[in-house]
Amino acid sequence: MARDAPRLILLPPGADLADAFARELIGRCRAQLPDLAALTIVVPASAAIPHLRRRLTHHAGRGLLGPRLVTLAGFAAQHVGAEPALSALECRLLLTEALRRHRNLFPAQDNARVAEALFELFEELTAQRFDPGADEDAFRARLASAYGGAVPLDWLSREAQIVHKLWLAFRQDCGDRSPAATHLAGLRAMLDASPAPVHLVGCDEFSAGERALLAPALRKGRAELWLSGRERGHDGATTAALIEALGIEPERRDAPAGALSALLDAAFDTEVKGSDPFTREAVNGSDPFTKGVRPLFRIVEAGGAEHEARCVDLAVRQALLAGAQDVVVLTQDRRLARRLRALLERANIPLQDHAGWALSTSRAAAALDAWLECLEGRFRFRPLLDLLKSGFAEVDPQALDRLERKLIYRDGIDGGLKALIDAAHSKPLEALLKKLKAAAFTVPRAGRAVPARRWTESLIQSLDRIGLRERLVQDEAGAQLARLLGALDAAFARVPLTLRWEEFRELLDGAIERATFAPTTGRGAVRLLTLEQAAGLRCEQLIVAGATREQLPGASKRDPFFSQSVRAELGLPDWQARQQLALARLRGALDRAQSVLVTYAAGSDDEPAQASPWIEAIEAQAARAGVSLRDADLARLAFSRDCEVGDVQAGVAGPQRRPAPATPPALLPERLSATGHQVLLDCPYRFFARSLLKLESEHAPDEDPDRSDYGKHVHRILHAFATQVPGLPPPFEGPINARTRAAAQARLEEIAAAEFAPGLERRALTLTWAAEFRASIPGLLDWMSRRPPLREVRTEAELSADLDGLRLHGILDRIETRLNGTRVIVDYKAGKVPKEDDVLTGEAVQLLHYALLDPQVTAVEYRPLREKKFKPVLIEDELPALREAARARLQRALARLRDGAPLPAQGIEHVCEYCDYAGLCRREDWSPTADRGDKHG
């Protein structure tokens, strides 16, 4: 190619740009093959490199030496300037210092966050070649013109003053060494020094500064630009604007249209042609929707976030089983991406994530955060355990077990190294705690400001002392975190600041939030990309996931400075330009894919699912031709057992079902409480975990009180009202009637005050509990005064009875013996009361279990303390029949346990909602109807 021939080649949106470019380049350089090392090819994103390299090799028919394939940023970074460039981190620190010099600009604002926003703005201004100039009044006048006079002058003056003053300070501190300025300088130098023309393939976005450098290079033949797209329609606005900005007439070339080109053209045209709707025959009389039996374009509306992730997971596995070699999942939704990654890893499918992962979400960052929280919070037990269990701290397992189980959960020590060391009574544990204490002393505790580098040096030293830093570098995310700490330390060395600990922590947290890391994965057939990385994308199967209005095109970016009109006036990209670029990239990706699946779901249960308007436009255009793009089968199959993960690599996608556990004979219980009885009927698996394996959740020292804590207080009060309880006032003697009622109420209030008194000093909630019980006293005394004459009343009475070799037992709140010798069992309810229908049908078995303990019991009763909210339940006439039914049902259940019956989860929603074993349960592996036909025994 002659160096003085302008080259801007434009192909249709569906064309294989990489293939067309590779064919022409190899044709030009045939005599030089295989040595193309002198050539440089610039691509918009690294995701475009593999396909372009394959096409070059294909057309050359052999392996190649070169060419160099880089992004524009990578190309410019190859130039090394005379002065060392400043990193983004160093620029933010300089802005932080500038904000301190101008404290009046942002009163009561966090300097680090303001510096972040200003840095982004100043980088944009530099990239777009905008200079506010030295005259603040002229800058204010320009802003006023952009606002159209609609903004109050005082506010406008304030915004102009802020930006202008800090821009001048930033330029003075950074000079031409900021990242954006360094990039432009490097691009200019590389274009001038390149021995051969630079080829830009698929690059569809340039800043004003980049265009100013590329346009002359294109005109003089020192560069050529290959684009795909069209110059009309909503999707063509970006291409048309770029061509106009470069000022070069493109060489327009034809290429075979893609199967979806006609549909996409019609969907994104700026005018709807009512007389010429899109039809199936629009593309050479062929059918653009099907290829064999598989539709080329499918849309799936999922029922929720998890359902959508399962749909995408299934679609990926279907594509791989069908022989696809290049599957791309395109999404802006990082939460969906994380869930998809987990699902694919379960199927042993590597996912190449080109966007990387937020460093702040990694285990390594969590371990560092736990250490910082330990330093700041006197080693409270939660961050301490998080640190020691992170896998990055060197810990003796037995010492950790003693610390957690005995000192924290059994002895209730909620933190503090001194308290933990004093209670350790174990040399390994003492050594561990003392090592932490010594490391903590390396970080200064004073609240005063110190040179910032002292914070990084002392923090790194403390990490070395506890062995955390050594283990971090052995992990991919941890190594990135260690490098970030080193970079922050180096930045403080070049930009000296004086910071308080809180300010240092803000800077550190911000740096971790911005950082990403890319875990190493084997070369696989599945790639995860964002829309920004989709420029020039071509693949076999494209899955556009999370295609909602919120994600595609996404909400308008909230720029902290300047409205959209002012941004346009200053030459900064506004929302409309960003949206047009995103649409162009989406359209190109859809057009160049062999098959497309679009999925979307509602963001929450109370919101309807709304597809992206771009997807709606495509669907509406297809509907005009009488074609439905909806795929109901994939949504239906996503949770199907037949589509559960199997050995995908072996080409088998059968379900992997884990059997429900059987009853181990050695673990059969000797005793059964009313609670265990209820659990056995509600959920066999829960009974297996609770009563057979005896798994119990730990109670943390700082665990929030719940309704059961209130119930314990109430039962002690009512027990003390009838029987002497150590530490509480004496019980009330005699019957309760009109004459004794006042005395009874006074005694009950006295007992309640004594019971709640210790908690009033520790928990404000205890005051609420005391008031609630006091309000229930009148109704409780009314009920007691209506009781018939009794021979005896016992409270907290423990009863037991044998049933087929099993000892049934229970502790009864109140058991009354009438004058005729019959008995009534009363259970006080401080909270929810079971429904009478559930008792009569045997679903709520507590009272019936108690009735099995004593044949003299003729009535059972639930007595609610909150009568206005719950109704009492009294079972008397029906009790004999219900007791025998409960006995027979329990006998059948016990017989099945002894026979080794499987114990699956019933999957009853209200039971699962409050289950402590959700993390262990695999109810989806078991039939939801298992044992349900004999649920009553």
The Cα-based distances of 903 to 624, 683, 896, 909 in angstroms read: 54, 8, 10, 17
Instruction: Give the residue carrying structure tokens 């918009």.
Output: 44
Q: What is the pLDDT of residues 398-438, one digit of tens each?
A: 999 999 989 998 888 988 999 999 999 999 999 999 999 99
Kindly report which listed range (124-128, 140-144, 181-185) carries the lowest average pLDDT score. 140-144
Cβ-proximal residues to 26 (8 Å cutoff; 6+ apart), any chain: 33, 56, 59, 60
Please name the helix (run of DSSP H) or strand (run of DSSP E) that holds residue 672, with its range, or none: strand 671-672
Q: What is the pLDDT of residues 888-924, one digit of tens each?
A: 999 999 999 999 888 888 878 788 888 888 878 877 7
- Res. 284: pLDDT tops 50: no
Mean pLDDT of the chain: 87
Q: Which residue has the higher pLDDT, 346 or 927?
A: 346
Dist. CA 799–CA 808, nearest whole Å: 8
**Confidence at residue 550, expressed as pLDDT on a 0 to 100 scale:** 87
- Res. 217: pLDDT tops 80: yes
Q: Which residue has the higher pLDDT, 631 or 867?
A: 631
Kindly report which listed range (30-34, 202-206, 558-562, 607-611) carries the lowest average pLDDT score. 558-562
Q: Return the top range by mean pLDDT from 51-65, 641-655, 916-930.
A: 51-65
Dist. CA 515–CA 487, nearest whole Å: 12
Across the range 562-582, mean pLDDT stands at 80
**Confidence at residue 490, expressed as pLDDT on a 0 to 100 scale:** 94
**Confidence at residue 650, expressed as pLDDT on a 0 to 100 scale:** 43
Across the range 633-638, mean pLDDT stands at 91
- Res. 651: pLDDT tops 70: no
Dist. CA 160–CA 144, nearest whole Å: 9
Nearest residue to 685 (alpha-carbon basis) of 668, 665, 663: 663
Across the range 513-540, mean pLDDT stands at 85
* Amino acid at site 521: T
Helices (H), 389-497: 397-401, 417-424, 427-440, 452-465, 468-472, 476-494
Where residue 557 falls among pLDDT bands split at 50, 70, 90? low
Across the range 699-715, mean pLDDT stands at 83
Rounded percentage of the chain residues whose pLDDT exceeds 90: 58
Kindly report which listed range (84-88, 703-707, 729-733, 902-906) carries the lowest average pLDDT score. 703-707
Omega into 864 within 30° of 0, i.e. cis?
Answer: no
Q: Is the pTM of this model over 0.85?
A: no
**Confidence at residue 927, expressed as pLDDT on a 0 to 100 scale:** 52
**Confidence at residue 529, expressed as pLDDT on a 0 to 100 scale:** 92
Q: What is the pLDDT of residues 149-200, one digit of tens each?
A: 555 555 556 667 777 788 888 888 888 899 999 999 999 999 999 888 999 9
Where residue 660 falls among pLDDT bands split at 50, 70, 90? confident
Residues 874, 879, 881, 883, CA torsion sign: positive
Q: Which residue has the higher pLDDT, 84 or 202?
A: 202
Across the range 347-355, mean pLDDT stands at 85
**Confidence at residue 425, expressed as pLDDT on a 0 to 100 scale:** 92
Q: What is the pLDDT of residues 311-320, one digit of tens each?
A: 999 999 999 9
Nearest residue to 723 (alpha-carbon basis) of 821, 792, 779: 792
Residues 677, 678, 682, 687, CA torsion sign: negative
**Confidence at residue 917, expressed as pLDDT on a 0 to 100 scale:** 86
Cβ-proximal residues to 74 (8 Å cutoff; 6+ apart), any chain: none
Which of helix, strand or coil describes residue 301? strand
Please name the helix (run of DSSP H) or strand (run of DSSP E) that holds residue 327, with its range, or none: strand 327-330
Number of Cβ within 10 Å of residue 839's Cβ equals 23
**Confidence at residue 657, expressed as pLDDT on a 0 to 100 scale:** 59
**Confidence at residue 358, expressed as pLDDT on a 0 to 100 scale:** 87
Dist. CA 34–CA 67, nearest whole Å: 10
Dist. CA 298–CA 630, nearest whole Å: 6
**Confidence at residue 190, expressed as pLDDT on a 0 to 100 scale:** 95
**Confidence at residue 277, expressed as pLDDT on a 0 to 100 scale:** 47
- DSSP letter (8 states) at residue 916: T
Dist. CA 80–CA 530, nearest whole Å: 30
Across the range 543-547, mean pLDDT stands at 96
- Res. 707: pLDDT tops 90: no
Where residue 606 falls among pLDDT bands split at 50, 70, 90? low
